[in-house]
Amino acid sequence: MKDFYYLIDNINNYNDDNFNEFLDKIKPNKRDKIQKLLKVDEQKRTILGEILLIKGLKKYFNIDYDSVNITQNSNGKPYIVNKPIFFNISHSFDYCICVFATQNIGVDIEKHRFLKSDLKNYICNSTEKKQLINKNINIFNIFTLKEAYIKMKGLKIFDIKNVELEFENNAIQCVDKNVLCFFINIISNYSIAVCIKKNYLDNN
């Protein structure tokens, strides 16, 4: 997939001194938000996500992080102002991932784990619930794919149940034919889904 890139890392690869050094490299407004987070691991995940953004902009586009203006849409999706470069960051437990493209893109990572609440009732319609049972599909694959789609489109998390999926053999895709969704299967016990405009990929 031309012009699609990603970086992934683990917060346990770094010590507290590393994270303090990383924090100094982050834009002041983002740094202030990070320092207000109550949980240390949440701070670390957010810091590492921003460091992956810094590295990826330089590695794949030869752009300095300090030279770009990053803002958010009305639903909180970050984007780079006046540049045809798109990114998205996600983290779960120990891992962070940042994806890059020259078109809108979304990513979500989730660790497979027991949840007290019934996730399928929150994110699935009746057809998808049947597929979970009949095809023995991991609920976190559905969750990450739907959330990656929402993040790509810049929607709200409350829209997650309205994202419709279709199941063919063992593959899962969005009903939206303008979007290609796929999984990055590189970490055991984690689901990582990416959504990107299909016509963008077809033209490259």
Q: So what's the pLDDT on residue 30?
A: 94
In angstroms, the CA 123 to CA 146 distance is: 8
Residue type, position 55, single letter: K
Radius of gyration of the chain (CA): 17
**How confident is residue 33, by pLDDT bands cut at 50, 70 and 90?**
very high
Query: Residue 180 in contact with residue 196, Cβ under 8 Å?
Result: yes
Provide mean pLDDT across the span 16-29: 96
Give me the pLDDT at residue 75, please. Answer: 85
Bridge partners of residue 194, in order along the sequence:
107, 182
CB 103 within 8 A of CB 1: no
pLDDT at 134 over 80: no
CA dihedral (147, 52, 99, 188) positive or negative:
negative
| Backbone φ and ψ of 50, nearest 5° | -70, -35
Residues 6 or more apart whose CB falls under 8 angstroms from that of 189 comprise 111, 112
Pairing of strands 179-183, 190-197: antiparallel
| Structure tokens that stand for 175 in this block | 């009903």
State residue 197's pLDDT score: 84
> Which of 50-59, 176-185, 195-204 has the largest mean confidence?
50-59
**Mean of pLDDT values over 128-140:** 81
Q: What is the pLDDT of residue 173?
A: 87
Main-chain phi, psi angles of 28, to 5 degrees: -55, -40
Mean pLDDT for 168-194 is 91
Question: Burial of 63 by CB count in 10 Å (0-12 exposed, 13-18 middle, 19+ buried)?
Answer: middle
Tens-place pLDDT, residues 71-129: 998 888 899 999 999 999 999 999 999 999 999 999 999 999 988 678 888 898 888 88
Share of the chain above pLDDT 90, in %: 67
In order of 18, 101, 126, 189, the CA distances from 175 in angstroms are: 43, 22, 15, 26
Instruction: Kindly state the DSSP code that residue 83 receives in the 8-state scheme.
Output: S
The predicted-structure confidence for 192-204, as pLDDT tens digits, reads as follows: 999 998 764 454 4
- The residue behind tokens 């924090």 is 23
- pLDDT of amino acid 2: 56
CB-based contact 158:114 (threshold 8 Å)? no
Q: Which token pair is 50?
A: 């921003």
Its pTM stands at: 0.92
pLDDT at position 159, please? 86
36 vs 197, higher pLDDT: 36
